Amino acid sequence: MLIFLVGIFLLATGYVFYGKLTATAVHPDPSRPTPAIRLADGVDYVSMPTWRVFLVQLLNIAGLGPVFGPIMGALWGPQVFLWIVFGAILGGAVHDFMAGAMSIRNDGAGLPSLIGHYLGNFARHGATIFILLLMVLVGTVFVKAPAALIVHLLPADMVFGWAGQGTTQALNTSFYHATIWQWIVSAIVFAYYLIATILPVDKLIGRVYPFFAIALLVMVIGLAWAMIFGEMNAPDFTLANLHPNHTPAWPIIFITVSCGAISGFHATQSPMMARCLSNEKYMKPVFYGAMIAEGFIALIWASAAQGYYGGVAGLAKALGPNLNNAAVVVHTICNHSMGAFGGFLAVLGVIVLPITSGDTAFRVARLILGDYLHLPQTRIRNRYIVALPMFAISILLMFLPFGVIWRYFGWANQTLAAVALWTAAVFLARRGNRWWLAALPATFMTVMTTTFILVEQRSKGCIGMDDTTGTIIGIVLGATALGVFLWFRPRLTPESDDPAKDLDAPSELQKEIEKNTDGVAC
């Protein structure tokens, strides 16, 4: 219990102090008009109340990562708390904040455009393809997972049908019924995603997310109450249980926990809300604060998973021989801690997380591809032209096993985080302000993702090198990346933070919007 309370305290303290250090590095200026004001187009550049922007940002970034990731990460015992807490404060929140800040200072530009501006056009082209693939993977994952959880909530006789008992025919019929329901629910989720991708951001996402947030709050508050006053006590943080079963944490725990500490997916979401923020003074609570809130969620689930099952051995048994029953763990813990009705609401809160990330994954993909192809997204016809092929690809990916999609998503996601942090390091260096805030976690993520792809098993699509050799190569590559950055840093073109700079002269993006906007928002 003590480690759980200490983790909450550290996250809150990190927001107050390290969040302020990060925010002041970009000099937020309340008098500087944001892209939501200067470039309003009624579709994607829409000023919304700050509380709505915060909720949308939180629900965008908090997919399955802060639930399933920490549950899986809890298999490494209490050391998972170190990565969740310090990873969120020093890495994830800085990463998300910088992505939002860079976008606000560059007319609401998306991540590929930011990468191109600070790392070069070659990087932009590669990043565009990479991020589009990642967004489609995210959207597909976040159709399959919530659909499975929804089907799990339906009455068993409705899902499996009546087919007698104990016969092969009965089992085959039950499996057939469950599969049909899985596809029915998936089709409904896909339909919602398409609507959310096409409509202006304030028409659906900005309106329904507050209701989704209620289900999320029920889950968070209910589990936190059970942790503090109930029977689910997190294990003590001692050297004796720091490494259960002597399972090495490096580097796989950093891929497994993912969104609970840092996630490249978040860097694609922050620019979307940068186009809706009404004032720069709210950058810290929206971008840095939302990641700290996600850290709270991750900490709660890592604690609950270890506390409910009495440690790593019990959790591993509950996850099954393939360690892939995280949805069952979620359902069991919620029902136990909050009763049948409270557990139902809590599971709905868990379902909300991937759905509210899946819809914005497709929306971000539409924005990125529209920018890349120079198709103005104020015209609804262009939105369909961009979105429909992506949904077709996602439907095809639905036929792949969930584990295959998630495996490649995990590594690609963390690799993107490293790229986004290097972009932020250049952004800060060009302003001469605390570039190390981004450069240090960027170096760590470079070392970690390189090591992972080198040492993970060949059977999982990686190289399968021995841990020592792979780690040495990862460290060398990370040090090389840092050295290149330090060598180029004095040679970078300075970039001003002057609020008055270029506000009277329209930017290239503003010119493009004014040229193509025909006044039709939907």
Nearest to 507 by CA among 26, 45, 38: 38
pLDDT (0 to 100) of residue 510: 47
All domains in the chain, ordered by first residue: 2-404 (1.20.1740)
Q: What is the mean pLDDT of residues 201-224?
A: 79
Q: What pLDDT does 176 receive?
A: 52
Q: Tokens at residue 421, please? A: 């942090």
- Confidence class for position 237, pLDDT limits 50, 70, 90: low
| Helices assigned H by DSSP within 374-401 | 380-397
pLDDT for 101: 95
Position 104 scores a pLDDT of 95
Rounded Cα distance between 98 and 18, Å, is 13
214: tokens are 């209620």
Give the residue with greater pLDDT, 502 vs 295: 295
Cβ 345 vs Cβ 338: under 8 Å: yes
Evaluate whether 78 touches 303 at the Cβ level (below 8 Å).
no
Higher pLDDT, 210 or 85: 85
Report how far residue 94's alpha carbon sits from residue 397's, in angstroms, rounded to the nearest whole number.
32
pLDDT band at 522 (very low <50, low <70, confident <90, very high): very low
Q: How far is CA 105 from CA 173, 200, 304, 489, 497, in A?
A: 57, 22, 40, 20, 8
Give yes or no for a contact between 68 and 305, defined as CB atoms under 8 angstroms apart: no
Number of C-beta neighbours around residue 159 at 10 A: 16
pLDDT for the residue 37:
93
- Greater confidence (2 vs 71) lies with 71
**Would you say the C-alpha torsion 110, 114, 116, 119 has a positive or negative sign?**
negative
Give the number of other CB atoms < 10 A from CB of residue 123.
18
Q: Is 236 left (phi over 0), alpha (psi -120 to 50) or beta?
A: beta
The label of the residue with tokens 């780690």 reads: 471
Mean pLDDT within 274-297: 94
pLDDT bin (cut points 50, 70, 90) of residue 160 is low
CA angle, 442 as apex, 324 and 323 as ends, to 5°?
Answer: 5
Name the packing angle between helices 168-198 and 380-397 (round to 10°). Answer: 160
Q: Which pLDDT score, from 0 to 100, does residue 247 have?
A: 62
Residue in the block written with tokens 């998503």: 409
Contacts of 477 (CB under 8 A, 6+ apart): 446, 447, 450
| Mean pLDDT score across all residues of the chain | 81
**Average pLDDT, integer, range 382-387:** 90
Give the separation between CA 438 and CA 506, rounded to whole angstroms: 30
pLDDT of amino acid 98? 96
Structure tokens at 200: 């202006």
Q: Does pLDDT of 229 surpass 90? A: no
Q: Are 346 and 219 in contact (CB under 8 A)?
A: yes
C-alpha 141/C-alpha 136 separation (Å) is 9
> Over 90: is that where the pLDDT of 103 sits?
yes
Asked if 77 and 241 count as a contact pair (C-beta separation under 8 A), the reply is: yes
Q: pLDDT: is 342 or 245 the higher one?
A: 342
Any long-range contacts for 193-196 (C-beta under 8 Å, 24+ apart)? 193/139, 193/143, 193/358, 193/359, 193/362, 193/391, 194/362, 194/387, 194/391, 196/359, 196/360, 196/362, 196/363
User: Residue 428: what pLDDT?
Assistant: 95
Match 């995990």 to its residue by tokens.
410
Structure tokens at 107: 């007319």
For residue 105, report the phi and psi dihedrals to the nearest 5 degrees.
-80, -5
Q: How far is Cα 295 from Cα 298, in angstroms, rounded to an integer?
A: 5
Task: Read off the pTM.
Answer: 0.84
pLDDT at 462: 59
DSSP 90: I
Q: Which two tokens stand for residue 445?
A: 């993520």
How many residues does this entry show for the chain?
Answer: 522
Per-residue confidence (pLDDT) for residue 134, from 0 to 100: 84
C-beta atoms surrounding 512 within 10 Å: 16
Q: Which residue has the higher pLDDT, 8 or 158?
A: 8
What distance in Å separates the CA atoms of residue 313 and residue 324, rounded to the nearest whole number?
15
Q: Where is pLDDT greater, at 402 or 519?
A: 402
pLDDT of residue 122: 87
* Spatial distance between the Cα atoms of 23 and 457, rounded to a whole number of angstroms: 40
Helix, strand, or coil here: 113?
helix
Q: Cβ of 36: how many Cβ atoms within 10 Å?
A: 23
| Two tokens, residue 286 | 């929206």
Residue 155 pLDDT exceeds 80: no
Which among 174, 187, 6, 171 has a CA at the least distance from the CA of 82? 6
> Which pLDDT score, from 0 to 100, does residue 405 have?
62
Confidence of residue 461 (pLDDT cuts 50, 70, 90): low
Q: pLDDT-derived band of residue 184, with 50, 70 and 90 as boundaries? A: confident
> For 348-369, what is each residue's pLDDT tens digit?
777 777 787 888 889 888 988 8
CB 236 within 8 A of CB 373: no
Q: What percent of the chain has pLDDT over 90?
A: 32
How far is 191 from 395, CA to CA, in rounded Å? Answer: 12
Q: How far is CA 269 from CA 445, 447, 492, 511, in A?
A: 19, 24, 27, 24
Residue pLDDT, tens place only, 391-434: 998 888 877 765 556 666 778 889 999 999 999 999 999 988 89
CB atoms within 10 A of CB 324: 15
What's the pLDDT at 242? 57
Specify whether the CB–CB gap between 60 and 356 falls below 8 A.
yes
pLDDT of residue 246: 56
